[in-house]
Amino acid sequence: MAVTVSRSGGIAGMTRRWAVQSQSAEDAAQWRALVEACPWDECDSARPTGADRFAWSVRATLPDASRHADLTEDQASGPWRTLIDAVREAAAG
């Protein structure tokens, strides 16, 4: 299982990416729980509203499915924020 998070926008308009790949069955189960907690079917293509706002792209590749969501900063809350923060923290080492 792999999860990739990209953040674009902001004052500099740069894109940053963070990615994780599960290393064990236990690790994959933890990532799957975070991925499945997100409301993937409730997302539509999002564009940031307002100058210098961030836009998030979240991709998850599971053994049985692939998921993708584009989120505004306002949408990146709740389970999305939990997943985004977990990926960023894990990628930081």
Domain count, the chain: 1
- CA–CA gap between residue 40 and residue 80 (Å, rounded): 9
Token digits for 75? 């949408």
Between 40 and 13, the higher pLDDT residue: 40
Decide: 68 and 5 in contact? Cβ < 8 Å: no
Q: Which domain holds residue 48?
A: 2-92
Task: Give the predicted TM-score (pTM) of the model.
Answer: 0.88
User: How much is the pLDDT for 47?
Assistant: 59
Between 21 and 43, the higher pLDDT residue: 21
User: How much is the pLDDT for 53?
Assistant: 80
Instruction: Write out pLDDT tens, residues 32-90.
Output: 999 999 999 887 665 556 666 889 999 999 999 999 999 999 899 999 999 999 999 99
